[in-house]
Amino acid sequence: MSRLLVTRPRDDAAPVARHLHRLGHRVLTEPMLDIVWRDGPLPDLVGTQALLFTSANGVRALARLSDRRDLPAFAVGSATAAAAAAAGFGPVARADGDIAALAALVAARCDPAAGRLCHVAGSVVAGDLAGRLGADGFAVERAVLYDARPATSLSDTTVAALREGALDGVLFYSPRSAASFVRLLGDAGLLRAVAAVTALCLSPAVAQAVLPAPWRAALTAARPDQEALFALLDSI
């Protein structure tokens, strides 16, 4: 059993925490990004051949504003695909967890002449999905439907856990969340508190973002998906 901290946004952290509890771990949550929905403008989907989702928050953002569910959807990974299917979008095609894989999947299954693509996203995006697809002749419209605002402080519960040495690992899913956590550690004077803690990182970019802190180790998942991230738990 490990003592873990999950840094995902609140709506994403809760199911992760429940799953980890079922596996026998003790879990705290400390959302590093606060998702703030925008009320529009709603993207014009006339002439759109497919929707592109790079996060479950993009799925939720569109679902709350639009009843359209008839367009094919392409999701960056398994969690986003599951969210899209649960919201009624479909058919949903799943890539292998990163922007390059998503762009390759879309290019293989879509035709630039069949209409534009709509990438539903936040105000800050990781990677250049539109640029990759644009190189293959696709027109991509980005619909910005939410903001992911960095946390401004660590909770008292997390601060106490760090000071008491009550954490074994911290799970990071994005470079922004990782960078925000390291920044807040510094603000609280707690950088040295992670010297006995392992950072569990979804991708090399995430691992790079945690490096300013003196972790016991920073481990990177073999693939950018949650199953591979959880496999790292055997190493702490």
Domain limits, the chain: 3-32+151-235, 36-148
Mean pLDDT over 28-54 rounds to 94
Please give the Cα distance from 197 to 38 (Å, whole number): 36
Longest alpha-carbon distance in the chain: 59
Instruction: Reduce the DSSP state of residue 5 to 3 states and report it.
Output: strand
- What is the pTM assigned to this prediction? 0.88
User: Distance from CA of residue 130 to its chain's centroid?
Assistant: 18
| pLDDT on residue 41 | 85
Partners of 199 in the β-ladder: 170, 218
| pLDDT on residue 105 | 98
Mean pLDDT over 67-81 rounds to 93
* Domain at 3-32+151-235, CATH class: alpha beta
CATH topology match: 3-32+151-235 vs 36-148: yes
Mean pLDDT over 123-143 rounds to 93
Q: Which CATH architecture has domain 36-148?
A: 3-Layer(aba) Sandwich (3.40)
Residue 1 has pLDDT above 90, yes or no: no
Reported as a single tens digit per residue, the pLDDT across 180-190 is 999 999 999 99
Mean pLDDT over 51-67 rounds to 95
User: Distance from CA of residue 171 to its chain's centroid?
Assistant: 11
Mean pLDDT for the chain overall: 95
| pLDDT on residue 42 | 85
